[in-house]
Amino acid sequence: MASSVEEASGQKQEEPTPRLQIYSTSDTVSPFWREKYEREAKKYWDVFYKRHQDRFFKDRHYLDKEWGHYLSGASRKVILEVGCGAGNTIFPLVATYANIFVHACDFSPNAVNLVKKHKDFTESRVNAFVCDLTIDDLSKQISPSSVDIVTMIFVLSAVSPEKMSLVVQNVSKVLKPSGRVLFRDYATGDLAQERLNCKDQKISENFYARGDGTRAFYFSNGFLTNLFKENAFDVEELDLCCKQVENRSRELVMNRRWVQAVFCLSDSTNSSNNSEAAIRIDHPDQDKMELNVNENSLKKPVKDLEVDMSDGVAAEMFGLPTSSDHDNEIIELELGGWTFNIKVLSKENQHTCKSTGLMLWESARFMASVLARNPSIVAGKRVLELGSGCAGICSMLAARSADLVFATDGDTKALNLLLENVVSNLRPPISDKFTTRILEWGKKDHIEAIKQVNSGGFDIILGTDVTYIPEAIVPLFQTAKELISSNEGINEDRQAALILCHIFRRVDEPSILSAASQFGFKLVDKWPVVIPIDSSLSIIKSWFPENGSADVSRGPLNILYFHME
């Protein structure tokens, strides 16, 4: 939804006020989603492995070609695979080297279960366990200084940059003084990064959210080198690899970039004095190209380099359709004896969409349940919903008993989807009372267009989760003042009302009350609260049966009830 602020005094402004968006226009995701990605990172990866099982990544048989000289030898070697996933690194190693033991950890329980269910899993060769390396102490699972090789294959990129040092420090506790960290991960400039840039899925510099909620960081050589050096590691090798991968069946050419490195502890006796590591660039049109960093030469011809590539990776990079790639989903709701089938943007796509109106918010569900139990709130009245979004569930419930219902939003995508929902859920004569209109708060031509259809104003104005953007609060109340019915001199129970419902998170109620007062609205009741603002009124409390308040008090849901002064 969008709104523009007009002068409260009604004086003509010299310059038009810029249009105000109540959803983000930044090229980065909102703070809400940034925090959600971090808080629920484990959940997103757990869902990823539940959905894809072991089919997403190919087994990494190239490890023997790239790092065989570290992994082979007569003596028994202990390997730690960090972020083991479904075992695409573990089992090729176990099959190739008979004299190794692998500790495998991942913070996704589903991933660890996939490892344990693998046909080649045996406890004599593999110890698989759940561990979040940003929180859990690795040395409680593995003896300190007991690991010869740590493999970190496309795993550190899933960690927020602020917590990467915690992972490196954790790994250093269990690594032998002579041990090595074998590293491969995404590099800046990879085509997947370019695609994510185009989708406005940036969390922070070089850090992005994918469509399924998992995250990916793209490493520069400088960032990676500093990260490990700051945590007592030396850089032994550092290769920047570029490769073109062609999918002939789809006529696609994919430019992949990744960084491949070997790190050793700074006090390691085997550490070569490499303040400058060898950096190679593998180009599709050249056999070899080296940056002028030092005199080290390539150990392998570039044609031997392999890419982690699967249908899943290709789908992510190019947006190709997959079996789980659906734009919308249907939510079924039972309210007041009615069954509603509401089409909304699918959960997989919600977090990358700037339009807040394409989903069904909890406060809308809550207010709809209130209207279903208390049709008298809107019975025989003219009802306006501000910011109805694509669901419009409050407006559809109100249409059963109201005389007239306007469902409005400033987002045309939300309104288009709302029309689909209205057509599929309402029938005459109820649908005849239902109207959808575009309404950007504070925009005069939108307000006037509604007044031309309903000149007498609205008896009930509803808004659910429409006050969480501070800049939108003033135009919201200005618009409500323009469209609410004056109905002076009638009984209090028939007095026009503005009803706002929101989840109490990052909502500044003092600012809401200040803006309300500025435009002549008086708060007469609030829920939850034992004593109403005016002790002679108990409007909202009457909506809830005395023995049924528990089923509507889930979460920090709030209702504010206003009359005009």
- What mean pLDDT do residues 340-352 have? 73
Residues 302 and 349 in one domain: no
- Of 119-128, 206-215, 346-355, the range with the lowest mean pLDDT is 346-355
Q: What are phi and psi of 208, to 5 degrees?
A: -135, 155
String of b and e for 539-559 (b: at least 16 CB within 10 Å)? Answer: bbbebbeeeeeeebeeeebbb
Residues 293 and 420 in one domain: no
Q: In the numeric block, which tokens belong to residue 523?
A: 């708060």
Determine the structural domain holding residue 209 and report its residue range: 31-318
356 or 94: which leads in pLDDT: 94
Report pLDDT for 8. 41
Q: In the numeric block, which tokens belong to residue 194?
A: 């370019």
What's 132's DSSP letter? -
510 or 161: which leads in pLDDT: 161
Residues 286 and 392 in one domain: no
Q: How far apart are CA 185 and CA 95, in angstroms?
A: 23
Residue appearing with tokens 């419902």:
501
Question: Residue 265's beta-bridge partner residues?
Answer: 233
Residues 439 and 485 in one domain: yes
Q: What are phi and psi of 369, to 5 degrees?
A: -65, -35
Residues 141 and 206 in one domain: yes
Residues 231 and 344 in one domain: no
Indicate whether 12 belongs to any domain.
no
Beta strand residue intervals within 280-322, DSSP E? 280-282, 289-290
> pLDDT tens-digit profile of 449-493?
999 999 999 999 999 999 888 889 999 999 999 999 987 545 556
Query: Is residue 4 over pLDDT 90?
Result: no
Residues 358 and 285 in one domain: no
Residue appearing with tokens 């979040």:
132
Residues 79 and 226 in one domain: yes
Indicate whether 57 belongs to any domain.
yes
Query: Is residue 3 over pLDDT 70?
Result: no
Indicate whether 169 belongs to any domain.
yes
Q: How far apart are CA 534 and CA 532, in angstroms?
A: 5
Indicate whether 312 belongs to any domain.
yes
Reported confidence tier of residue 354, pLDDT bands at 50, 70, 90: low
Residues 182 and 235 in one domain: yes
Indicate whether 23 belongs to any domain.
no
Task: Quote the number of domains for the chain.
Answer: 2
Q: How far apart are CA 80 and CA 82, in angstroms?
A: 6
Q: Closest Cα partner for 79 from 159, 184, 171, 186?
A: 171
Highest mean pLDDT: which range of 452-456, 501-505, 506-510: 452-456
CATH number of the domain where residue 554 is located: 3.40.50.150
- What mean pLDDT do residues 502-527 have? 87
Residues 424 and 541 in one domain: yes
- What mean pLDDT do residues 488-501 have? 76
Indicate whether 6 belongs to any domain.
no
Q: What is the mean pLDDT of the chain?
A: 80
Q: Closest Cα partner for 261 from 241, 232, 286?
A: 241
Q: How far apart are CA 240 and CA 187, in angstroms?
A: 8
Which of 295, 318, 341 is where one domain is finished?
Answer: 318
Residue appearing with tokens 């590691």:
233
- What mean pLDDT do residues 176-201 have? 86
Residues 355 and 299 in one domain: no
Query: Is residue 547 over pLDDT 60?
Result: no
> pLDDT tens-digit profile of 48-79?
888 878 777 778 888 888 898 899 887 899 99
Q: How far apart are CA 94 and CA 115, in angstroms?
A: 12
Indicate whether 427 belongs to any domain.
yes
Q: How far is CA 167 from CA 10, 135, 146, in A?
A: 58, 9, 17
Residues 445 and 301 in one domain: no
Helix (H) or strand (E) holding 167: helix 164-174
Taking a C-beta distance cutoff of 8 angstroms, is the pair 478, 516 a contact? Answer: no
Residue appearing with tokens 């004299």:
99
Sign of CA dihedral 286, 318, 23, 38: negative
- What mean pLDDT do residues 265-279 have? 52
Which of 318, 343, 365 is where one domain is finished?
Answer: 318
Indicate whether 26 belongs to any domain.
no
Taking a C-beta distance cutoff of 8 angstroms, is the pair 244, 253 a contact? Answer: yes
Strand-strand pairing, 280-282 and 233-247: parallel
> pLDDT tens-digit profile of 215-264?
999 999 999 999 999 999 999 999 888 876 665 655 556 677 889 999 99
Which of 255, 286, 318 is where one domain is finished?
Answer: 318
Q: How far apart are CA 523 and CA 529, in angstroms?
A: 13
361 or 499: which leads in pLDDT: 499
Highest mean pLDDT: which range of 180-184, 323-327, 349-353: 180-184
- Of 4-18, 132-146, 222-236, 525-539, the range with the lowest mean pLDDT is 4-18
Q: Closest Cα partner for 437 from 420, 419, 463?
A: 419
